[in-house]
DNA sequence: TCTACAAGTTGACGGTGTCAACATTGACTA
DNA sequence: TAGTCAATGTTGACACCGTCAACTTGTAGA
């Protein structure tokens, strides 16, 4: 049984998702065509429509998987003792940064509004898990300056995302004077830490 | 002469560019198809290829126009005396932020690596004009903390871009606790100003 | 065992970017 | 002034794409 080519695949939905992520890694999200995914999975060109109504739904599922990975990494990092809970924001910044550098194509496409439905229920629950690590990130007592902690959270999130985004787009490589210190995020985070957090 | 439909358009290249920008404003960059631009300009479906070899080249030209607008606005703002030169970074942050809010579709597509060739010579010279306003932005004497001024420049640029990008993607609207203070950038910039710049 | 439904296949449709072949025009040259 | 030729525009074709309808195959449950 299940010899060579069973008519039914078994777990085609999952296989399509894997093929999608593989395509994204290999040639960015623009390489993700329904027909290419179908061919990579060894299935007819319209088969994916039985599991994902849309190209957008397929890519949204892939984005959900990526966000899930990031949530997982975040929880792992927050569990270690070397990263005190009162500096959760700092920890999350590093996780995001390292993930983006390691999987640039993935980090890029998950923010694409036209390809990813961020209102999708699955996406929203995954995002909530991520936000949950953000929800009590800055213990008020850990702040020197008395600035609004929500503002500080948005600041750090924006900073990390912005730096990663611009860096992946090569915006900092073209300038002579910025060419040297390639990896600027740690310095920036340290700068913020000294400005807004007590030294332990 | 030049009665109704002269065979030659006159300045088709410019007309195509205008139509492209209009389409971007109206329905995001995904609405920019070569054939749609051609139709909007009243010309045959393949005419644009005589002026822009590629869809990418066409959209790159549009991006160059947008960057040019931003450069212009930046120079205007820096020329006014109410924004002291030693706070150039702050001024640029506001320009970028206001432009992004006013023309969200434009701000979004100019960063799309797959659609815009950032290595294009025109783009690079335009970007250099923008960077030039960045080149001596932070007078060392204006800094309190003695942090590396390049790092500070990258920090502010990243912060603004990241905040605008995430905000346009609706990432801050979904959280109950962040819903109130919609316009957070001024507060963040003020926060940085107080942390890193002398009060005048 | 029969039957209904889920899971794949096939073929078709309109829309897309791009190319080659052709038509028109205007500017330069003789 | 006549002639030519490159730039500019048109037409038609091709492969690829997403999507849908109609069909086939397998399977689970009454």
- In angstroms, the CA B106 to CA B21 distance is 8
Nearest to A178 among B147, B154, B170 (CB): B154
pLDDT given for residue B108 in this prediction:
96
Helix (H, G, I), strand (E, B) or coil at B143: strand
DSSP structure class, residue B138: S
Chain B touched by A111 (CB under 8 Å): yes
Chain A partners of B184 at a C-beta cutoff of 8 Å?
151, 154
Structure tokens at B41: 């300009």
Structure tokens at B14: 């410019």
What digits encode the pLDDT tens for the residues B141-157? 455 556 677 777 788 88
What digits encode the pLDDT tens for the residues A132-183? 655 544 544 455 556 677 777 788 889 989 999 988 887 776 554 444 446 7
DSSP structure class, residue B5: -
Q: Indicate the pTM of the whole model.
A: 0.89
Report the distance from CA of residue B124 to the C1' of nucleotide D27 in Å, as an integer. 61
Which nucleotide across the nucleic acid strands is nearest to A50, CA versus C1'?
Answer: C7
In chain A, the residue whose alpha carbon lies closest to the alpha carbon of B134 is A175
- In angstroms, the CA A39 to CA A36 distance is 5
Which nucleotide across the nucleic acid strands is nearest to A56, CA versus C1'?
Answer: D18
Chain B partners of A109 at a C-beta cutoff of 8 Å?
none
Which nucleotide across the nucleic acid strands is nearest to A38, CA versus C1'?
Answer: C8
Q: How far is CA B23 from the centre of its chain?
A: 17
DSSP structure class, residue B136: S
What digits encode the pLDDT tens for the residues B84-142? 655 677 788 889 989 998 999 999 999 999 999 999 999 999 988 887 655 544 544 45
User: Which of A77, A70, A97 has the alpha carbon at shortest distance from A157?
Assistant: A97
Chain B touched by A132 (CB under 8 Å): no
Contact between A178 and B152 (Cβ < 8 Å): no
User: How much of chain A exceeds pLDDT 70, in percent?
Assistant: 78
pLDDT given for residue B4 in this prediction:
45
User: Which of A48, A63, A178, A176 has the alpha carbon at shortest distance from A110?
Assistant: A63
Q: How far is CA B66 from the centre of its chain?
A: 6
pLDDT given for residue A194 in this prediction:
75
Helices (H), chain B: 12-27, 34-41, 55-79, 88-102, 104-109, 121-135, 149-168, 185-196
Chain A touched by B46 (CB under 8 Å): no
Contacts of B46 (CB under 8 A, 6+ apart): B38
Contacts of A162 (CB under 8 A, 6+ apart): B157, B158, B159, B160, B161, B162, B163, B165
Q: What are phi and psi of A199, to 5 degrees?
A: -75, 135
In chain A, the residue whose alpha carbon lies closest to the alpha carbon of B156 is A159
Give the mean model confidence (pLDDT) for residues B151-172.
85
Kindly list the distances between the CA atom of residue B184 and the CA atoms of A148, B67, B175, in Å, as whole numbers in the listed order: 11, 24, 14
Decide if A177 and B135 are in contact by the 8 Å CB cutoff.
Answer: yes
Computed over every residue of chain A, the mean pLDDT equals 82
């Amino acid at each position: 049984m299940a010899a060579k080519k069973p008519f039914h695949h078994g777990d085609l939905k999952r296989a399509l998702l894997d093929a999608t992520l593989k395509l994204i890694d290999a040639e960015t999200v623009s390489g993700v065509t329904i027909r290419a995914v179908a061919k990579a999975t060894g299935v007819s060109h319209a088969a994916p429509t039985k599991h994902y109504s849309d190209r957008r739904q397929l890519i949204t599922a892939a984005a959900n998987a990526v966000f899930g990975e990031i949530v997982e990494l975040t929880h792992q990092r927050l569990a270690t003792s070397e990263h005190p809970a009162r500096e959760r924001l700092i920890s999350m910044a590093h996780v995001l940064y390292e993930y983006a550098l390691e999987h640039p194509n993935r980090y890029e496409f998950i923010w694409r509004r036209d390809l990813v439905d961020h209102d999708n229920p699955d996406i929203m629950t995954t995002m909530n898990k991520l936000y949950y690590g953000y929800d009590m990130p800055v213990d008020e007592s850990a702040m020197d300056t008395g600035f609004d902690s929500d503002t500080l959270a948005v600041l750090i999130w924006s900073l990390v995302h912005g730096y990663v985004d611009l860096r992946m787009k090569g915006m900092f490589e073209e300038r002579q004077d910025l060419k040297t210190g390639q990896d600027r995020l740690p310095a920036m985070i340290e700068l913020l830490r000294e400005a807004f957090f007590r030294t332990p």
